[in-house]
Structure 1
Protein backbone atom coordinates (compact mmCIF):
# COMPACT_ATOMS: atom_id res chain seq x y z
CA UNK A 1 0.00 0.00 0.00
CA UNK A 2 1.36 3.40 -0.94
CA UNK A 3 2.10 5.99 1.70
CA UNK A 4 -0.34 8.89 1.57
CA UNK A 5 1.38 12.20 2.18
CA UNK A 6 -0.60 15.33 2.87
CA UNK A 7 1.48 18.13 1.40
CA UNK A 8 -0.98 20.94 0.77
CA UNK A 9 -1.84 23.57 3.32
CA UNK A 10 -5.35 23.49 4.76
CA UNK A 11 -5.79 27.25 4.30
CA UNK A 12 -3.93 28.37 1.18
CA UNK A 13 -4.59 32.05 1.85
CA UNK A 14 -2.22 32.26 4.82
CA UNK A 15 1.46 32.93 4.25
CA UNK A 16 3.74 30.35 5.88
CA UNK A 17 7.03 31.07 7.58
CA UNK A 18 10.13 29.08 6.70
CA UNK A 19 9.97 27.54 10.19
CA UNK A 20 6.42 26.30 9.54
CA UNK A 21 7.45 24.86 6.19
CA UNK A 22 10.50 23.25 7.81
CA UNK A 23 8.26 21.68 10.42
CA UNK A 24 5.93 20.29 7.73
CA UNK A 25 8.93 18.93 5.80
CA UNK A 26 10.21 17.20 8.95
CA UNK A 27 6.85 15.53 9.54
CA UNK A 28 6.75 14.35 5.92
CA UNK A 29 10.37 13.17 6.03
CA UNK A 30 9.74 11.27 9.26
CA UNK A 31 6.74 9.48 7.73
CA UNK A 32 8.71 8.59 4.61
CA UNK A 33 11.71 7.35 6.61
CA UNK A 34 9.53 5.18 8.85
CA UNK A 35 7.65 3.83 5.83
CA UNK A 36 10.91 2.87 4.12
CA UNK A 37 12.23 1.21 7.29
CA UNK A 38 9.00 -0.79 7.54
CA UNK A 39 9.21 -1.66 3.85
CA UNK A 40 12.64 -3.23 4.37
CA UNK A 41 11.09 -5.51 6.98
CA UNK A 42 8.21 -6.34 4.59
CA UNK A 43 10.79 -7.25 1.95
CA UNK A 44 12.19 -9.82 4.40
CA UNK A 45 15.24 -7.90 5.54
CA UNK A 46 15.84 -8.45 9.24
CA UNK A 47 16.39 -5.90 12.00
CA UNK A 48 18.26 -6.95 15.12
CA UNK A 49 16.17 -4.62 17.30
CA UNK A 50 14.34 -1.29 17.44
CA UNK A 51 17.60 0.60 17.90
CA UNK A 52 18.85 -0.69 14.56
CA UNK A 53 15.55 0.27 12.89
CA UNK A 54 15.89 3.79 14.32
CA UNK A 55 19.41 3.97 12.86
CA UNK A 56 18.01 3.17 9.42
CA UNK A 57 15.33 5.84 9.88
CA UNK A 58 18.09 8.31 10.72
CA UNK A 59 19.96 7.49 7.51
CA UNK A 60 16.81 8.21 5.52
CA UNK A 61 16.32 11.50 7.40
CA UNK A 62 19.89 12.56 6.62
CA UNK A 63 19.33 11.65 2.96
CA UNK A 64 16.10 13.66 2.82
CA UNK A 65 17.70 16.67 4.50
CA UNK A 66 20.37 16.57 1.79
CA UNK A 67 17.66 16.36 -0.86
CA UNK A 68 15.80 19.33 0.67
CA UNK A 69 18.97 21.40 0.70
CA UNK A 70 19.53 20.68 -3.00
CA UNK A 71 15.89 21.42 -3.86
CA UNK A 72 16.07 24.70 -1.95
CA UNK A 73 19.27 25.77 -3.73
CA UNK A 74 18.43 28.35 -6.35
CA UNK A 75 14.89 28.67 -5.06
CA UNK A 76 15.93 30.72 -2.01
CA UNK A 77 18.60 33.18 -1.04
CA UNK A 78 21.35 31.60 1.08
CA UNK A 79 20.02 32.97 4.39
CA UNK A 80 16.47 31.75 3.71
CA UNK A 81 17.73 28.38 2.52
CA UNK A 82 19.81 28.03 5.68
CA UNK A 83 16.81 28.99 7.85
CA UNK A 84 14.57 26.47 6.11
CA UNK A 85 17.02 23.57 6.31
CA UNK A 86 17.94 24.40 9.91
CA UNK A 87 14.30 24.41 11.03
CA UNK A 88 13.72 21.19 9.06
CA UNK A 89 16.70 19.46 10.71
CA UNK A 90 15.74 20.68 14.19
CA UNK A 91 12.22 19.28 13.80
CA UNK A 92 13.67 15.97 12.57
CA UNK A 93 15.77 15.86 15.74
CA UNK A 94 12.64 16.46 17.84
CA UNK A 95 10.79 13.61 16.09
CA UNK A 96 13.79 11.34 16.56
CA UNK A 97 14.19 12.25 20.22
CA UNK A 98 10.51 11.71 21.03
CA UNK A 99 10.29 8.39 19.22
CA UNK A 100 13.63 7.13 20.56
CA UNK A 101 12.56 7.83 24.15
CA UNK A 102 9.30 5.97 23.50
CA UNK A 103 11.11 2.93 22.06
CA UNK A 104 14.44 2.87 23.86
CA UNK A 105 13.84 4.73 27.11
CA UNK A 106 15.28 7.96 28.49
CA UNK A 107 18.35 9.36 26.82
CA UNK A 108 19.74 12.11 24.64
CA UNK A 109 19.41 10.76 21.10
CA UNK A 110 19.59 14.00 19.13
CA UNK A 111 23.31 14.60 19.66
CA UNK A 112 24.33 11.43 17.82
CA UNK A 113 21.99 12.36 14.98
CA UNK A 114 23.59 15.81 14.67
CA UNK A 115 27.02 14.15 14.45
CA UNK A 116 25.74 11.77 11.79
CA UNK A 117 24.14 14.63 9.86
CA UNK A 118 27.35 16.66 9.93
CA UNK A 119 29.44 13.69 8.81
CA UNK A 120 27.06 12.66 6.05
CA UNK A 121 26.67 16.23 4.81
CA UNK A 122 30.35 16.23 3.96
CA UNK A 123 30.04 12.85 2.28
CA UNK A 124 26.94 13.74 0.26
CA UNK A 125 28.47 17.07 -0.83
CA UNK A 126 30.18 15.36 -3.77
CA UNK A 127 27.00 13.77 -5.13
CA UNK A 128 24.62 15.37 -7.60
CA UNK A 129 20.89 15.85 -7.54
CA UNK A 130 19.78 16.73 -11.05
CA UNK A 131 16.39 17.51 -12.51
CA UNK A 132 15.80 13.78 -12.96
CA UNK A 133 16.68 12.96 -9.35
CA UNK A 134 19.65 11.81 -7.31
CA UNK A 135 22.71 10.46 -9.07
CA UNK A 136 23.73 6.82 -8.88
CA UNK A 137 26.42 7.75 -6.35
CA UNK A 138 23.90 9.66 -4.20
CA UNK A 139 21.61 6.62 -3.94
CA UNK A 140 24.52 4.21 -3.62
CA UNK A 141 25.80 6.11 -0.60
CA UNK A 142 22.41 5.87 1.11
CA UNK A 143 22.31 2.14 0.32
CA UNK A 144 25.87 1.62 1.51
CA UNK A 145 25.22 3.32 4.85
CA UNK A 146 22.06 1.29 5.46
CA UNK A 147 23.84 -1.90 4.37
CA UNK A 148 26.59 -1.12 6.88
CA UNK A 149 24.01 -0.64 9.65
CA UNK A 150 22.12 -3.84 8.86
CA UNK A 151 25.16 -6.07 8.44
CA UNK A 152 26.13 -8.71 5.94
CA UNK A 153 24.03 -11.59 7.27
CA UNK A 154 22.51 -13.75 4.54
CA UNK A 155 19.04 -12.18 4.85
CA UNK A 156 20.39 -8.60 4.63
CA UNK A 157 22.99 -9.13 1.93
CA UNK A 158 21.02 -7.40 -0.83
CA UNK A 159 19.62 -4.45 1.13
CA UNK A 160 21.82 -2.03 -0.83
CA UNK A 161 20.10 -3.12 -4.05
CA UNK A 162 16.66 -2.62 -2.52
CA UNK A 163 17.63 0.92 -1.46
CA UNK A 164 19.26 1.89 -4.77
CA UNK A 165 16.69 0.35 -7.09
CA UNK A 166 13.44 1.06 -5.26
CA UNK A 167 13.24 2.50 -1.75
CA UNK A 168 15.71 5.36 -2.18
CA UNK A 169 14.00 6.45 -5.41
CA UNK A 170 10.57 6.20 -3.83
CA UNK A 171 11.70 8.25 -0.84
CA UNK A 172 13.16 10.90 -3.14
CA UNK A 173 10.11 11.10 -5.41
CA UNK A 174 7.61 11.34 -2.55
CA UNK A 175 9.64 13.94 -0.71
CA UNK A 176 10.45 16.05 -3.78
CA UNK A 177 6.77 16.17 -4.72
CA UNK A 178 5.76 17.18 -1.20
CA UNK A 179 8.52 19.80 -1.12
CA UNK A 180 7.18 21.40 -4.29
CA UNK A 181 3.57 21.16 -3.10
CA UNK A 182 4.31 23.02 0.13
CA UNK A 183 5.47 26.06 -1.85
CA UNK A 184 2.46 26.23 -4.19
Structure 2
Protein backbone atom coordinates (compact mmCIF):
# COMPACT_ATOMS: atom_id res chain seq x y z
CA UNK A 1 0.00 0.00 0.00
CA UNK A 2 1.39 3.34 -1.02
CA UNK A 3 1.82 6.09 1.59
CA UNK A 4 0.74 9.46 0.29
CA UNK A 5 1.07 13.02 1.54
CA UNK A 6 -2.55 13.94 2.09
CA UNK A 7 -2.40 17.18 4.09
CA UNK A 8 -0.28 20.25 4.61
CA UNK A 9 1.85 20.55 7.73
CA UNK A 10 0.78 24.18 8.13
CA UNK A 11 -2.90 24.04 7.27
CA UNK A 12 -3.61 27.68 8.12
CA UNK A 13 -1.22 28.87 5.38
CA UNK A 14 -2.42 29.33 1.81
CA UNK A 15 -0.46 27.52 -0.89
CA UNK A 16 0.29 28.51 -4.46
CA UNK A 17 -0.78 26.52 -7.49
CA UNK A 18 2.86 25.62 -8.01
CA UNK A 19 3.19 24.26 -4.47
CA UNK A 20 -0.01 22.25 -4.86
CA UNK A 21 1.18 20.89 -8.21
CA UNK A 22 4.50 19.89 -6.64
CA UNK A 23 2.88 17.92 -3.84
CA UNK A 24 0.41 16.27 -6.21
CA UNK A 25 3.22 15.41 -8.67
CA UNK A 26 5.18 13.74 -5.87
CA UNK A 27 2.13 11.68 -4.92
CA UNK A 28 1.35 10.82 -8.55
CA UNK A 29 4.93 9.56 -8.89
CA UNK A 30 4.42 7.32 -5.86
CA UNK A 31 1.11 5.97 -7.21
CA UNK A 32 2.68 5.36 -10.65
CA UNK A 33 5.50 3.37 -9.04
CA UNK A 34 3.06 1.48 -6.82
CA UNK A 35 1.00 0.40 -9.85
CA UNK A 36 4.11 -1.23 -11.32
CA UNK A 37 4.93 -2.91 -8.04
CA UNK A 38 1.35 -4.22 -7.94
CA UNK A 39 1.76 -5.69 -11.43
CA UNK A 40 5.02 -7.37 -10.47
CA UNK A 41 3.50 -8.71 -7.23
CA UNK A 42 0.62 -10.13 -9.29
CA UNK A 43 3.29 -12.11 -11.21
CA UNK A 44 3.39 -9.94 -14.32
CA UNK A 45 6.84 -9.82 -15.83
CA UNK A 46 8.99 -6.74 -16.19
CA UNK A 47 12.44 -7.28 -17.60
CA UNK A 48 14.48 -4.11 -17.06
CA UNK A 49 14.63 -0.73 -15.37
CA UNK A 50 14.10 0.89 -18.78
CA UNK A 51 10.86 -1.02 -19.19
CA UNK A 52 9.76 0.00 -15.69
CA UNK A 53 10.48 3.65 -16.46
CA UNK A 54 8.45 3.38 -19.67
CA UNK A 55 5.57 2.01 -17.58
CA UNK A 56 6.01 4.82 -15.06
CA UNK A 57 5.91 7.38 -17.89
CA UNK A 58 2.60 6.03 -19.18
CA UNK A 59 1.19 5.89 -15.64
CA UNK A 60 2.24 9.49 -15.02
CA UNK A 61 0.72 10.68 -18.28
CA UNK A 62 -2.55 8.87 -17.61
CA UNK A 63 -2.82 10.41 -14.14
CA UNK A 64 -1.86 13.88 -15.42
CA UNK A 65 -4.73 13.58 -17.88
CA UNK A 66 -7.11 12.47 -15.13
CA UNK A 67 -5.95 15.38 -12.95
CA UNK A 68 -6.62 17.74 -15.85
CA UNK A 69 -10.16 16.42 -16.16
CA UNK A 70 -10.66 16.76 -12.41
CA UNK A 71 -9.35 20.34 -12.13
CA UNK A 72 -12.35 21.75 -13.97
CA UNK A 73 -14.15 21.88 -10.62
CA UNK A 74 -11.24 23.58 -8.82
CA UNK A 75 -9.76 26.18 -11.18
CA UNK A 76 -10.67 28.67 -13.85
CA UNK A 77 -9.13 28.08 -17.30
CA UNK A 78 -5.97 30.13 -16.69
CA UNK A 79 -5.32 28.52 -13.30
CA UNK A 80 -5.99 25.10 -14.74
CA UNK A 81 -3.50 25.66 -17.56
CA UNK A 82 -0.85 26.84 -15.08
CA UNK A 83 -1.55 23.97 -12.71
CA UNK A 84 -1.43 21.22 -15.35
CA UNK A 85 1.71 22.73 -16.88
CA UNK A 86 3.42 22.74 -13.50
CA UNK A 87 2.13 19.25 -12.65
CA UNK A 88 3.41 17.91 -15.97
CA UNK A 89 6.82 19.55 -15.51
CA UNK A 90 7.22 18.21 -11.97
CA UNK A 91 6.13 14.68 -12.93
CA UNK A 92 8.47 14.84 -15.90
CA UNK A 93 11.32 15.96 -13.66
CA UNK A 94 10.87 12.93 -11.39
CA UNK A 95 11.00 10.67 -14.45
CA UNK A 96 13.94 12.44 -16.10
CA UNK A 97 15.94 12.36 -12.85
CA UNK A 98 15.50 8.59 -12.74
CA UNK A 99 16.53 8.18 -16.37
CA UNK A 100 19.64 10.27 -15.69
CA UNK A 101 20.49 8.20 -12.61
CA UNK A 102 20.22 4.95 -14.57
CA UNK A 103 21.38 5.89 -18.08
CA UNK A 104 23.21 9.21 -17.94
CA UNK A 105 22.48 12.10 -20.26
CA UNK A 106 19.79 11.93 -22.87
CA UNK A 107 16.85 13.81 -24.36
CA UNK A 108 14.45 12.31 -21.82
CA UNK A 109 12.53 15.50 -21.07
CA UNK A 110 11.58 16.14 -24.70
CA UNK A 111 10.68 12.48 -25.18
CA UNK A 112 8.36 12.69 -22.16
CA UNK A 113 6.77 15.93 -23.39
CA UNK A 114 6.18 14.46 -26.85
CA UNK A 115 4.64 11.32 -25.38
CA UNK A 116 2.53 13.39 -22.97
CA UNK A 117 1.16 15.60 -25.74
CA UNK A 118 0.37 12.61 -27.92
CA UNK A 119 -1.34 10.56 -25.22
CA UNK A 120 -3.32 13.44 -23.72
CA UNK A 121 -4.76 14.30 -27.13
CA UNK A 122 -5.83 10.66 -27.52
CA UNK A 123 -7.31 10.36 -24.00
CA UNK A 124 -9.30 13.57 -24.53
CA UNK A 125 -11.55 11.67 -26.94
CA UNK A 126 -12.85 9.36 -24.19
CA UNK A 127 -15.55 9.72 -21.54
CA UNK A 128 -14.80 10.78 -17.99
CA UNK A 129 -17.06 11.46 -15.00
CA UNK A 130 -16.14 12.85 -11.61
CA UNK A 131 -17.91 10.00 -9.84
CA UNK A 132 -16.60 7.06 -11.84
CA UNK A 133 -13.46 8.52 -13.36
CA UNK A 134 -12.29 7.35 -16.76
CA UNK A 135 -14.81 5.46 -18.86
CA UNK A 136 -14.27 1.86 -19.90
CA UNK A 137 -12.95 2.81 -23.36
CA UNK A 138 -10.30 5.12 -21.87
CA UNK A 139 -9.22 2.47 -19.35
CA UNK A 140 -8.97 -0.11 -22.11
CA UNK A 141 -7.00 2.23 -24.38
CA UNK A 142 -4.56 3.00 -21.57
CA UNK A 143 -4.36 -0.70 -20.65
CA UNK A 144 -3.39 -1.54 -24.22
CA UNK A 145 -0.44 0.86 -23.99
CA UNK A 146 0.68 -0.82 -20.77
CA UNK A 147 0.25 -4.24 -22.38
CA UNK A 148 2.46 -3.13 -25.26
CA UNK A 149 5.26 -2.25 -22.84
CA UNK A 150 5.03 -5.37 -20.66
CA UNK A 151 7.02 -8.56 -21.15
CA UNK A 152 5.73 -11.75 -22.75
CA UNK A 153 4.69 -13.57 -19.58
CA UNK A 154 0.91 -13.20 -18.95
CA UNK A 155 0.82 -10.41 -21.54
CA UNK A 156 -2.77 -11.09 -22.57
CA UNK A 157 -4.11 -10.35 -19.07
CA UNK A 158 -2.38 -7.04 -18.43
CA UNK A 159 -5.14 -4.92 -19.98
CA UNK A 160 -7.74 -6.61 -17.77
CA UNK A 161 -5.56 -6.04 -14.70
CA UNK A 162 -5.32 -2.35 -15.57
CA UNK A 163 -9.06 -1.97 -16.26
CA UNK A 164 -10.31 -3.91 -13.25
CA UNK A 165 -7.72 -3.22 -10.56
CA UNK A 166 -5.01 -0.65 -11.24
CA UNK A 167 -6.97 2.19 -12.87
CA UNK A 168 -9.70 2.20 -10.20
CA UNK A 169 -7.00 2.27 -7.49
CA UNK A 170 -5.07 5.03 -9.28
CA UNK A 171 -8.23 7.12 -9.66
CA UNK A 172 -9.22 6.59 -6.02
CA UNK A 173 -5.77 7.73 -4.86
CA UNK A 174 -5.75 10.72 -7.22
CA UNK A 175 -9.23 11.79 -6.15
CA UNK A 176 -8.19 11.76 -2.48
CA UNK A 177 -4.92 13.56 -3.22
CA UNK A 178 -6.62 16.31 -5.25
CA UNK A 179 -9.38 16.81 -2.68
CA UNK A 180 -7.03 16.98 0.30
CA UNK A 181 -4.30 19.12 -1.27
CA UNK A 182 -6.34 21.59 -3.33
CA UNK A 183 -9.42 22.12 -1.17
Counterparts of 1:86-101 in structure 2, within 5 Å, are 86-101=85-100
Q: Deviations over 1:15-55 (max 9, x none)?
A: 11101111111101000000111111111111121101100
* 1:67-94 CA-partner distances (Å, limit 9, x unpaired): 1101101321100000000000000111
Tell me the residue number matched to 2:140.
140
Please name the residue that 2:48 is paired with: 49
Query: Does residue 161 of the first structure (1) align with residue 156 of the second (2)?
Result: no
Between 1:86-95 and 1:98-107, the stretch displaced more is 98-107
CA distance in 2, matches of 1:25, 1:6: 8
Give unmatched runs, 5+ long, in structure 1: none
User: Which secondary structure does the structure 2 equivalent of 1:158 belong to?
Assistant: helix
Residue of structure 2 equivalent to 1:129: 128
> Partners in 2 of 1:47 and 1:105 — Cα distance?
21
SS at match of 2:53: helix
Give the TM-score normalised by the residue count of structure 1.
Answer: 0.95
Query: Structure 2: which 5+ residue stretches go unaligned?
Result: none
- Give the 3-state SS of the residue equivalent to 1:10 in structure 2: coil
Cα distance in 1 between the residues matched to 2:120 and 2:182: 24
Q: Distance in 2 between matches of 1:75 and 1:92?
A: 20
Q: How far has the Cα of 1:128 moved from its partner?
A: 1.8
Name which of structure 1's ranges 160-169 and 99-108 shifts more when overlaid on structure 2.
Answer: 99-108
Give the corresponding residue for 1:80: 79
Q: How many Å apart are 1:107 and its aligned residue? A: 2.0
